[in-house]
Amino acid sequence: MMAEVQGRMRVLWWGTYDPDNPRVKILQQGLQCNGVEIVRCHRAIWGPQTKTQMTRFLKVWKILRCLCSYPRLVFCFFTAPKSETVVVSHLGLLDLFVLWPFSRVRGVTIVWDAFISLYDTVVFDRKLASKGGIVAGLLWGLEYLACRMADCIVLDTRAHADYFAQTFRLPPEKIKVIHVGAEPTVFPPATAEKFNDPEEFIVLFYGTFIPLHGIDTILDAARLAKGLPWKWVIIGKGQKDGRLRADLAAHQRENIEWIPWVDYSELSLWINRANVCLGIFGDTGKAARVIPNKVFQILSKGKPLITRDSPAVRELLSEDEGVVLIPPADAKALVEAVKKRQSLWKEFHLYHDVVRERILPEYLGKQFLNLLQTRES
């Protein structure tokens, strides 16, 4: 069994992860809610904007900063209270290469919450490197080896797990699935007054404009909906915000409000204001395999959701009166989905109650705890 202190199980959370990343916070909180003691060995490398600036990983200065942090992390590993399990969060590729030999010396199990494939993200989703090129080969090789250094790999959906197993030639039983979830204190359920008839019908999207988000589809839908009494509020910036800038510069878009940035803590207020919230609409392979943070946050709030249909989202959701699933990259379908939500507006519901129970940290933490116990038994 894992190391215990006064009846509490203990795990070591080790590496250069971003401690403010929602995935990390939810898993750690979930384990703590289930009585697990977490010992953190951490050096700050990846800031909150890393997800929107993946190319930073490829910059020499960033890698050097990582390398300079590892002596302290190794020292922390050997001086930390004894634990049978060490968890590595994304972006944990270099972490695994450093940790692996020392973990063998100390005889601990490595659980890697991979979360995303850097190879898939850089090469196929964001197309920042060419398939078959040196960078693509390097990233694939790094992830291939990292997958073998970890004793267990955790991903966010079964579709994503199947991709990892096929792409990196892994036995399926080595990969476990825990959904992303949402922070209930940051995204509490909206109250009834937030569902009353609005003065204006707000369609909300927030994100980083990466290809899987499908910002082109959202802008095309806003164009098709010109003249309808809707306001499209778009929050964020990122890889494809050039399309939004060009669209707003070339055309008069009175039905679009673009807000380049709001604080993370303010997103809940914007979701409260919205009548319909949007998920993702990209047609990339990754878009079919993942369920992004925003979907879980909207579900936690209980607000109406429109997002693309995919194998991943079907693991969590089925269409009901609070969720509309549409084909990817289909602006006309998006407009029709918004119309459908508008026609039902006067029927107040706090949606997603059943789903919400399955995306809370306590529930996900219990799943993670069961996984760890199975690994150590």
Average pLDDT score over residue span 13-36? 95
User: What tens digit of pLDDT does each residue of 105-128 get?
Assistant: 999 999 999 999 999 999 999 888
Q: Which of 104-118, 190-204, 231-245 has the least mean pLDDT?
A: 190-204
Hey, how many other C-beta atoms are within 10 angstroms of the C-beta on 14? Answer: 29
Q: What is the pLDDT of residue 3?
A: 46
Assign 322 a pLDDT band (cuts: 50, 70, 90). confident
Q: Is the peptide bond before 67 cis (omega within 30 degrees of 0)?
A: no
Assign 4 a pLDDT band (cuts: 50, 70, 90). very low
Parse the chain into domains and list their residue ranges.
4-181+360-376, 192-357
Residue 333 has pLDDT above 80, yes or no: yes
Tokens of 328: 């990817």
Q: What is the pLDDT of residue 376?
A: 62
* pTM for this prediction: 0.90
Q: What is the pLDDT of residue 6?
A: 46
Same fold across 4-181+360-376 and 192-357? yes
Residue 93 has pLDDT above 50, yes or no: yes
Of 210, 264, 212, 254, the closest CA to residue 233 belongs to 254
Residue 193 has pLDDT above 70, yes or no: no
Q: What is the pLDDT of residue 32?
A: 97
User: What is the sign of the dihedral through the CA atoms of 359, 360, 363 and 364?
Assistant: positive
Average pLDDT score over residue span 52-58? 47
Q: What is the pLDDT of residue 197?
A: 56
User: What tens digit of pLDDT does each residue of 142-184 get?
Assistant: 999 999 999 999 999 999 999 999 999 999 999 999 999 999 9
Q: Give the integer Cα–Cα distance in Å for 111 and 88.
A: 6
Q: Which residue has the higher pLDDT, 347 or 138?
A: 138
In CATH, the architecture of 4-181+360-376 is 3-Layer(aba) Sandwich (3.40)
For domain 192-357, give the CATH number.
Answer: 3.40.50.2000
Tokens of 319: 């269409």
Average pLDDT score over residue span 19-40? 96
Q: What is the pLDDT of residue 370?
A: 95
Q: Which of 10-24, 53-67, 86-100, 283-297 has the least mean pLDDT?
A: 53-67
Proportion of the chain above pLDDT 70, given as a percent: 88
